[in-house]
Amino acid sequence: MQGLEIVELPGFAVASLLLALGLATSLVLEKPFSGGRWKHYYWLVLTQFLFYPAMIAVGVLFAVSANPALRPPKPNSVPGHTIDVLFYLPIALAAFWVYRMKKIRWCAFCFLAFEQLLLFGAALVAGFSVTGDWP
């Protein structure tokens, strides 16, 4: 009889699972769409999704060749700083939205943290593209 194998979940999967469970729990407990809790301007939180195409566009526009036969390109700090700004600005906006969304802050936190998790993936791919350092 074979022993049980322990399957290790990557950090992204564990974080996604925890945030999805937190979001589902907060939707049940806080009921954000009932009782006037959801204000009409809360939909602006979805503008956070605009940072994904911006991040990927920086990665595409400033991509360098990852071919080891070619000599390494000269470092360009503009795309690196742009990726940093496009990564940290949504974190500041997420903190603003969590503060602003009174009575449904746990729901807002879980949703925006999940968005940040996805944005981290986009920043990772864009960063690899502009530096040419693929794993």
What type of residue sits at position 60?
V
Distance between CA atoms of residues 132 and 58, nearest Å: 13
How wide is the angle at C-alpha 89 spanned by C-alphas 125 and 96, nearest 5°? 135
| pLDDT for the residue numbered 130 | 86
The residues spanned by each domain of the chain are 11-65+75-131
Distance between CA atoms of residues 109 and 32, nearest Å: 13
| pLDDT for the residue numbered 1 | 46
Burial of 134 (0-12, 13-18, 19+ CB in 10 A): exposed
| pLDDT for the residue numbered 75 | 64
- Give pLDDT < 50 ranges for the chain: 1
